[in-house]
Copies of this chain bind each other. A is one copy, B any other.
Amino acid sequence: MLKKDTFALTPPMGWNSWDCYGAAVNEEQLLGNAQYVADNLKDYGFEYITCDIQWYEPKATSNFYNNFTELCMDEYSRLIPAENRFPSSANGVGFKAIADKIHAMGLKFGIHIMRGIPRQAVHRNTPVKGTDMTAREIAQGFSVCSWNTDMYGLRTCEGAQAYYNSIFELYACWGVDFVKVDDIANTEYKPHDPYSAREEIEMIRKAIDGCGRAMVLSLSPGPAVISEAFHLSQNANMWRMTGDFWDHWDKLYAMFERCEKWAPHVKVGCWPDCDMLPLGKISKTCTCLGDRDRYTNFTPDEQKTMLTLWSMFRSPLILGGDLRENRPEDLKLITNRDILEINQFSSENRQLYRNRNEAAWSCKDKDDNSVIALFNLSGDEAEISLDLEKYGIEKHGGKALELWTGESTEIKEKSLKAVIRPHACKAYRLL
């Protein structure tokens, strides 16, 4: 087993600041949500609290990035938290104080970074720790992100490895447990291309392996390319199989095809990622694909469909809303122990079939009972019938317990039948 696969034994669960705060989250918001997790969700398995993009940008106010703006940086070309947003980081403390508080709550701490080195370091030609090479020498001038001007990608050279080593050394010192690396995961490998994300992913892997602390490595953005599946699984713990996910049915509908395609690649330490869950209150200081400061556009049925798919597939479960504004139904939804246990502890997960209007998945739960999810993907109520024998699901006692409602049904003629509302699902444990 690869070393990295020893510390993400189940799909990571937690909270991330992007869906509600964009690039602008601050210390109070971060710790406030952490406290909510500690108080309400820790017992259900949620543990990673991740500060998303641009914590080093003092002027960030939303999901829009300031062009070529000044970033907070130390003497070794390493980005550090903006003190005006994260006061406890002052005087060289960095994220250590926040990480300590989160650890004290019994949780884990994550940060987001962009691959590469700050462009401002390159144009000032500042030093890199642990090497004689300077920022200018290790940057790849044409390797730029298409949506943000902060960084240059790195050339494949010793100085670049030294830079990645130096930042993960810092993160280890802060007590970081999870790193989401961005602008790195949707590239196809091209052998004759002088630049390819593969090399930077490998340098990051090596830096983490050598940093002395276990850190989950999450890669973004998606969609990752299926032909890179092997390379991703060798180097990362989770990677985005989709572009940014938001609360629109078409995006949820499209996820069924993505899950079908990526299912063979799900295994311990390797979690293809359906992206954050836009549940509860989202878009507080960002305006991604919807109104500002809204509760999710997903209907209650769609919310359950999403959680059921994410769980049958075993995607990471990272909450996106401001948890402090959760309504009772929001909290209830994300604390269904049966569904969460499927996400964390099921096996033999597989799609049984999928067509334009329906899909069905099955798995075994931790007690080796069969679990079946039936999805109505159409806009009309429909009766869905699953021939259990056809799929070799034959060991059961003739009963099916629906996990969202607690209702029990009898299995007749070796088939599971249900009338399901539009965009809704049923998740049955066979008993």
List A residues at the B interface (Cβ < 8 Å). 1-3, 5-6, 67-68, 119-120, 122-125, 136-137, 139, 141-142, 144-149, 226-227, 229-230, 234, 260-261, 263-265, 351, 353, 390-392
Contacts and interface: CB of A to CB of B under 8 A. Distances in A.
A6 B265 CA distance: 23
28 contacts: A1-B392, A2-B391, A2-B392, A3-B390, A3-B392, A5-B392, A6-B392, A67-B136, A67-B137, A67-B141, A68-B122, A68-B123, A68-B125, A119-B119, A119-B123, A120-B123, A123-B123, A141-B144, A141-B145, A141-B148, A142-B145, A144-B144, A227-B261, A229-B264, A230-B260, A230-B263, A230-B351, A264-B265
A136 B68 contact: yes
Contacts of A351: 230
Most chain B CB neighbours (cut-off 10 Å) among A3, A123, A148 = A123
Given A67-B141, A123-B120, A145-B142, A391 B229 contact: no
A258 to B, nearest CB: 11
Contacts of A123: 68, 119-120, 123-124
B264 A141 contact: no
A382 B119 CA distance: 42
B68 A141 contact: yes
A369 to B, nearest CB: 17
A356 to B, nearest CB: 10
Given A68-B139, A264-B264, A390 B2 contact: yes
A353 B198 CA distance: 14
B136 A142 contact: no
Nearest to A120: B123
A155 to B, nearest CB: 9
Contact of A226 (B142, B227, B234, B391): B227
A6 B394 CA distance: 14
Contacts of A141: 67-68, 144-145, 148-149
Contacts of A390: 2-3
Contacts of A137: 67
Nearest to A68: B136
Nearest to A389: B3
Contact of A142 (B6, B146, B229): B146
A1 B68 contact: no
Contacts of A145: 141-142
A226 to B, nearest CB: 6
Contacts of A3: 390, 392
Nearest to A145: B142
A5 B390 CA distance: 11
A287 B427 CA distance: 48
Nearest to A150: B141
A372 to B, nearest CB: 14
A324 to B, nearest CB: 35
A186 to B, nearest CB: 14
A311 to B, nearest CB: 19
- A-B pairs, top 3 by smallest CB distance, nearest first, are A1-B392, A141-B149, A123-B123
Nearest to A6: B392
Given A2-B391, A141-B148, A234-B353, 12 more contacts: A2-B392, A6-B392, A67-B139, A68-B123, A123-B123, A141-B145, A142-B146, A226-B226, A226-B227, A229-B261, A229-B264, A230-B261
Contacts of A261: 227, 229-230
A147 B227 CA distance: 28
Contacts of A265: 264
A264 B230 CA distance: 8
A423 B376 CA distance: 45
Contacts of A142: 144-147, 149
